[in-house]
């Protein structure tokens, strides 16, 4: 039984298995102006789909979902939605999830960025950390460096977020 799975998201996974690509409404963002992009309403569904693909070990789908999320994060602000995206990802994934790794880095980078220091995140962040011990642990690990100093959180695409292991050849690498 799949009663605990979101039927719409599961249908997207079955569609991907049949067609080999994600639906157009998930792949493309809506351009608002020449310099600003907004996440589509489908970003939460893409997070759910990527988590579902990880759970069912559908590596290519999980990798595609993460690559789209990485591109959206780079191209868009995500400012008001990032905390809800991260908490959703943590609810849907396990400790060693690549989606979880990416989303925790997005949150840490967002909180630590100089442009956001003046914005009050503490109340919302405190609630999110209180609701998820895993998120709190990962967040503290990311923002603490040697000697307790803050560290830069790099967010990069590629193999760091692919489902294959570090010793395997990347299936997407050009020969």
Here the tokens at position 32 are 């608002």
Domain for residue 2, yes or no? Answer: no
Decide if 27 is inside a domain: yes
Q: Tell which residue, 73, 148, 70, 161, has the closest CA to residue 110.
A: 73
175 inside domain: no
* 30-88 confidence digits (pLDDT tens): 443 323 333 444 788 889 999 999 999 998 899 888 888 887 776 665 566 788 889 99
Position 30 in a domain: yes
Backbone angles phi, psi at 29, to 5 degrees: -90, 165
Determine if the pTM surpasses 0.85: no
Q: Is residue 169 part of a domain?
A: no
Look at the chain and report how many structural domains it folds into: 1
Is 131 domain-assigned?
yes
Determine, yes or no, domain membership for 61: yes
pLDDT above 80: residue 23: no
Domain that holds residue 121: 7-161
Look at residue 84 and tell me if it is in a domain.
yes
C-alpha–C-alpha distance, residues 147 and 102, integer Å: 24
How crowded is the C-beta side of 86, counted as CA atoms within 13 Å? 30
Task: State the alpha helices, DSSP H only, in the chain.
Answer: 7-19, 24-27, 43-55, 59-75, 82-92, 98-112, 122-131, 133-143
Average pLDDT for residues 160-168, to the nearest whole number?
A: 80
Query: Residue 146, Cβ neighbours under 10 Å: how many?
Result: 6
Alpha carbon distance 116, 13 (integer Å): 36
């Amino acid at each position: 039984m799949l009663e605990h799975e979101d039927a719409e998201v599961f249908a997207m996974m079955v569609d991907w298995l049949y067609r080999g690509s994600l639906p157009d409404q998930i792949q493309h963002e809506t351009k608002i102006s020449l310099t600003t992009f907004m996440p589509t309403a489908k970003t939460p569904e893409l997070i759910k789909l990527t988590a579902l693909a990880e759970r069912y070990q559908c590596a290519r789908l999980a990798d595609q979902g993460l690559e789209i999320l990485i591109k959206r994060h780079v191209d868009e602000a995500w400012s008001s939605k990032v905390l809800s995206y991260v908490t959703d990802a943590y609810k849907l994934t396990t400790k060693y999830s690549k989606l979880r790794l990416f989303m925790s880095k997005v949150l840490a980078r967002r909180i630590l960025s100089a442009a956001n220091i003046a914005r009050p995140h503490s109340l919302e962040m405190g609630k999110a950390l209180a609701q998820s011990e895993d998120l709190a642990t990962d967040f503290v690990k990311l923002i603490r460096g040697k000697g307790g100093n803050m560290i830069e959180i790099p967010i990069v695409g590629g193999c760091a977020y692919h489902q294959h292991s570090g010793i395997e050849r990347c299936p997407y690498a050009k020969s």
